[in-house]
Structures are given as C-alpha cells and as structure tokens.
C-alpha cells in the first residue's frame, strides 16, 4: 500500500474486496430469492425484517471501519504492538455490544415491527426469522471486524475468499432447510435465518484462526499499557463511523415506513429493489472499502501525493461505475426483478424504482467514495457530516414531499436526494483540498475523464488495426 503504483494497488484491492462483498450481499439476495418462492406474505415479512438487519449490520460495519482505520494507521507507522491491542480490544467490543443489542431486540421485536407497519398476518414470519438472526448478530459482528483487521494490515484476499465460501454454504443450507431436502425438515423462513447464521459461524472461525496464526491477538488482561489509550481512540473514531454507517439503514426504515402507509406490495418491492441495488453497487462499495485502509496507511506514513492519487481514482471510479449501472439497468431490470417475485405489482414497482433512482447512481457513487476518503484521512466527523446532510436535508424532506404523490413520488424524492448528496460531498472535498494546498486544487475531473476516453479510443484503434 505504501510503495507500488496507486492505481494498480487500489484496483488490486478493490476487485477482491468487491467479490467478497458480493458474496456477503448474496446472503440477502439468495435469502430473498428462496423466500420469494414461499409467497408474497413471507417475502413482505423478510422486507420488514431486513430493515433491522441492515441497521445492526451498519453498526457492525461502522465499528469495523473505525478499527480498520486505526489498524491501517499503526501498520503504516510500523507500530506492531498497537496493531495487536487495537485488534484485540476491537473484537471484544464487537462481541459485547451486539450481544446487548440482540437481547434487547428479541425482547422488543413485536413492538419494533408493529411500529414499522407489519400486520398480524406478517408478524409470525418476522418472529421466526429474526429470533434466530438476533442470536447470530454477535457472531456476524466479530466476523466483519476480523475481516477489516486483515484488510487494513494488507491481507485483502483471505477475508473475501472466506466470505465467498460462506455465501455458497448459505445458499446450500437455504435450499436444504426451506424445502426439506437431504433428510432435513422443511422449516420455511426459519431455515433461511438458520442457514445464514451457520455460515457466519464459519466466517468467524476461519478469520479468527488467521488472526491468531499471524499473532494479531493478545489477552487484554496481560497488557499493562496501551489498552486505555486504544479504547479511547476506537471510541473517538467509532462514534461518527457507526453513526455514518447507520444512517443508510435508518433511511431504509424511514422509507419502509412511508411505503407501508401507501401500499403493502410497495414494501415488498422496495425490499427486492434494495437487494438488487446492493449487488449493483458492489463495485463502488469495493472501491470505497479499499480506499479507507489505503489512505489510512499512507496518512500514517505521510505520503500525501499517494493520497491525492487515491482521491482521483475514487472520483473516476464513481463516474464510470455510475454510468455503467445506468446502461445495465435499462434493458435488464425487468427480467431481474422477475426472478424474485411472480407478483406483477411487486415486479412493476421494482422496475419503476430503478428507472427513477438509477439515473442518480453517478452522484450516489461520488457520495459513497467521498465519505470513505474522509474516514481514511482520520476525519470521521466530516464523513458523518456528509451523511447527515444528505439524509436530513435531502432524503427525508424529498421523500416526504414525494409521498403526497404516491409510491413513485417517494422514488423521485430518493433520486433527487442522491443527486444533491453527491454534489454536496464534492463541495466538501474541494474545500478540504484547498485547506491543505493539495495538488488537486484547480484540477478538473472532466479533463481526467477526457484523457481516459482518448486513451481508450486510441487503444481501440490499435486493436482494430492489428
């Protein structure tokens, strides 16, 4: 991360990270596909349940991001003992906090989902699914944190391979448990949660073994110095980082709440759209995830030119991937949506969602990359500010205004908020670049994109000529 060409390093990190995240997100996509075969009611139940799932997963990812930033900085500064203490304290917090939240969730789940708009027909299916998921959340949290520690230390491929294998395990177990194959009982939506949780156990065991093998973990009680300081650092970064990651799931809950007041099928459609969208955004999420530890290590090593190069790479990735997604969506979204449901209303609403919101993906990608860059620069407060402005100043009011025009109005509000959020993120980045007299001040991103297009055209001519 500190020596090789920036673009090559980020590309080599982003691809395996994207593949690993793809396998992780496939947990929910595969679950949605299998539950869709059980009917509209279980599918709606899964959509309601997923709001809480993504909220807690956002908390775990936020904590993991904070820990990875510190690990990356200490690796860049060659402070080995600080890396070990950070990893050990982080995993301990990553078990205890989710354990308390899971106990609270199991106790209050009826009240939570009733508030979100779930009716008595859907509630039993939600309870079957979420009771098992709540029990597995501490395992998921530790697995996510262990993967982040390994990535921040430069071991990018192992976590992605492990998550990929876990995705396959999850898919196989879903099939066996839902439909009662190979001698297993058919337990429906409960089998989805059980298969997912077992795959999380696999992730944790393998990644913990890797950390122990490389001597990244120590018994906290055996350390006399450093624990309190590292704990404060984790808390300082984790606060804004967790809030940043949880804003997205809170938005999901809010939009589900608005849609639940419109039409019941709209909640199911939004749930399906969310799974598909997560897969579509894998590339830019991979770039964002890779950017944070890369920038953190170079920040620790005071290599500011490489940080500028990483910022350019992220901006161009946001543009190219955002445009690419729009091209993919137009011809293929209807058959893709049809894989998840046979209900015409659910499929139709899902298609309209992507026609409307997909047009804003370039700006949404820019927003995600910018937030990740600020985390790597040890500025989680700035990342949080971007997220809060997008959510409170744009998404919430735009969606509420759109709700007066029905389901499609809410989708239009989401699209406009993505555009506004991306432009605001770019504005904040330009301000900070000017403060530090960055080499990027006054440099046009369109000029960089133009150069890439000219290079591509020239390469195409050479290939055609040959």
Per residue in 294-321, pLDDT (tens digit) is 887 777 777 878 888 888 888 888 888 8
Query: CB of 377 within 8 A of CB of 295?
Result: yes
From the list 280, 199, 194, the residue with the least C-alpha distance to 22 is: 280
Containing domain of residue 189, as a range? 6-465
In 3D space, the residue among 127, 128, 140 whose CA is nearest the CA of residue 27 turns out to be 140
CA dist 284 and 318 (Å) reads: 6
What was the pLDDT predicted at 26? 66
Supply 62's token pair. Answer: 């936020």
What average pLDDT does this structure show over 75-89? Answer: 79
> Is 1 within a domain?
no
Tell me the angle at which helices 80-116 and 123-152 cross, rounded to the nearest 10 degrees.
160
- The least confident of 106-115, 134-143, 265-274 is 265-274
Tell me if 377 is assigned to some domain: yes
3-class state of residue 376 by DSSP = helix
Residue 166 lies in a domain: yes
In a domain, 242, yes or no: yes
DSSP letter string over 182-217?
TT----THHHHHHHHHHHHHHHHHHHHHHHHHTT--
**In angstroms, rounded to a whole number, what is the distance separating the alpha carbons of residues 299 and 294?**
9
Query: Is the dihedral angle over the CA atoms 363, 366, 370, 376 positive or is it negative?
Result: positive
Beta-carbon contacts of 28 under 8 Å, excluding residues fewer than 6 positions away, are: 50, 53, 275, 278
Tell me what pLDDT residue 421 has: 93
Q: What is the mean pLDDT of the chain?
A: 81
pLDDT in tens, 384-442: 888 889 988 999 999 999 989 888 899 999 999 999 999 999 888 888 878 777 777 76
Measure Cα distances from 436 to 51, 107, 226, 370, 429 in Å: 40, 50, 31, 16, 11
Q: What does DSSP assign to residue 358?
A: G
Q: What CA–CA distance (Å, rounded) separates 462 from 60?
A: 48
Please state the domain count of the chain. 1
Report the predicted TM-score, pTM, of the whole model to 2 decimal places.
0.67
Q: What is the DSSP string of 236-257?
A: HHHHHHHHHHHHHHHHHHHHHH
Candidates 418, 181, 134; CA nearest to 281 is 418
For 120, the 3-state DSSP assignment is: coil
Judge whether 413 and 401 are in contact, CB under 8 Å: yes
Residue 222 confidence (pLDDT) above 70 = no
Residue 390, both tokens: 């997008």
pLDDT at 25: 65
- The tens digit of pLDDT for each residue in 151-206 reads 878 777 788 788 888 888 888 888 888 878 877 887 888 888 888 899 999 999 99
Residue 411 covered by a domain: yes
- Quick check: 374 and 331 in contact, CB under 8 A? no
């Amino acid at each position: 991360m500190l020596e090789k060409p920036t673009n090559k390093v980020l590309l080599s990190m982003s691809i395996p990270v994207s593949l690993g995240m793809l396998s992780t997100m496939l947990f929910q996509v595969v679950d949605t596909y299998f539950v869709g075969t059980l009917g509209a009611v279980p599918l709606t139940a899964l959509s309601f349940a997923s709001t809480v799932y993504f909220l807690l997963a956002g908390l775990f990812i936020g904590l993991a991001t904070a820990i990875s930033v510190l690990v990356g900085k200490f690796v860049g500064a060659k402070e080995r003992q600080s890396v070990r203490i950070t990893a050990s304290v982080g995993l301990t917090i990553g078990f205890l906090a989710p354990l308390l939240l899971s106990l609270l969730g199991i106790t209050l789940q009826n009240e939570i989902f009733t508030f979100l708009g779930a009716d008595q027909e859907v509630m039993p299916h939600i309870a079957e699914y979420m009771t098992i998921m709540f029990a597995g959340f501490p395992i998921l949290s530790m697995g996510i944190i262990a993967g982040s520690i390994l990535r921040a230390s430069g071991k990018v491929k192992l976590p992605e391979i492990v998550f990929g294998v876990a995705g396959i395990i999850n898919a196989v177990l879903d099939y066996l448990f839902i439909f009662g194959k190979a001698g297993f009982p058919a337990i429906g939506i409960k089998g989805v949660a059980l298969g997912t949780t077992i795959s999380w156990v696999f992730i944790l065991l393998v990644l913990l073994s890797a950390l122990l093998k490389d001597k990244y973990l120590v018994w906290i009680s055996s350390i006399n110095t450093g624990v309190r300081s590292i704990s404060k650092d984790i808390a300082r970064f984790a606060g804004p980082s967790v809030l940043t990651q949880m804003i997205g799931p809170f938005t999901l809950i809010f939009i589900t709440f608005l849609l639940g007041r419109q039409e019941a099928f709209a909640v199911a459609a939004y749930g399906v759209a969310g799974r598909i969208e997560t897969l579509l955004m894998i590339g830019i999420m991979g770039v964002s995830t890779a950017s944070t530890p890369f920038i953190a290590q170079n920040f620790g090593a005071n290599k500011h030119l490489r940080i500028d190069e990483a910022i350019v790479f992220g901006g161009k990735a946001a543009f190219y991937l955002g445009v690419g997604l729009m091209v993919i969506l137009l011809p293929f979204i209807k058959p893709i949506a049809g894989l998840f449901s046979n209900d015409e209303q659910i499929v139709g609403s899902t298609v309209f969602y992507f026609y409307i919101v997909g047009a804003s993906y370039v700006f949404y990608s820019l927003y995600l990359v910018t937030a990740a860059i600020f985390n790597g620069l040890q500025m989680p407060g700035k990342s949080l500010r971007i997220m809060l402005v997008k959510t409170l100043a744009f998404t919430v009011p735009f969606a509420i205004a759109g709700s007066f025009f029905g389901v499609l109005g809410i989708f239009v509000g989401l699209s406009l908020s993505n555009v506004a959020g991306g432009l605001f993120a770019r504005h904040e980045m330009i301000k900070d670049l000017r403060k530090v007299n960055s080499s990027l001040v006054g440099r046009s991103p369109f000029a960089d994109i133009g150069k890439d297009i000219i290079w591509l055209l020239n390469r195409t001519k050479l290939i055609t000529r040959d």
